[in-house]
A = this chain, B = another copy of it.
């Protein structure tokens, strides 16, 4: 096999592994499993959840608090754009998330971007840093007036 073919195949394998990590993370979030979701991070991985959390233990604690507020969540990913660079990578992904609040069972809709830095750790791709950027949301009437305060698509021109 030529080196070029080898490299091409390796790149596809890496990209698919990262795509799968993103889906696995969403799946664990929607399974209300903060520990399983946090296990998708590197040992020193940083999760920005409206505050900076460092490492799986801190991320688990933070996610536990957030997920307690919801009866259901469903994070639908698409438009995954990956840039590989050896054992690191960046990814920009689209997410639409359906939610129902735990207290009222009212639906909430969220559109955003997952902005990720990834690292290969012991042969496994994991999150080195992840941040969610809001593009829009629709909340139950009267609940929240912050719907229009999202930063919007990263780098959106004026």
Contacts and interface: CB of A to CB of B under 8 A. Distances in A.
The range of chain A's interface size is 35 or more
Interface stretch (A20-28, A44-52, A54-62, A120-128): A20-28
B153 A31 contact: yes
Contact of A135 (B8, B13, B72): B72
A79 interface: yes
User: Dominant SS at the A interface?
Assistant: mixed
Interface string A1-40: 1100110110011011000100110110011110000000
A31 B156 CA distance: 4
Given A74-B153, A98-B136, 12 more contacts: A1-B5, A5-B9, A8-B9, A8-B13, A9-B9, A23-B81, A24-B81, A32-B157, A72-B153, A74-B111, A76-B78, A98-B111
16 contacts: A5-B6, A23-B79, A23-B80, A23-B81, A26-B79, A27-B153, A32-B153, A32-B158, A33-B157, A74-B96, A75-B79, A77-B79, A96-B96, A98-B111, A98-B136, A100-B148
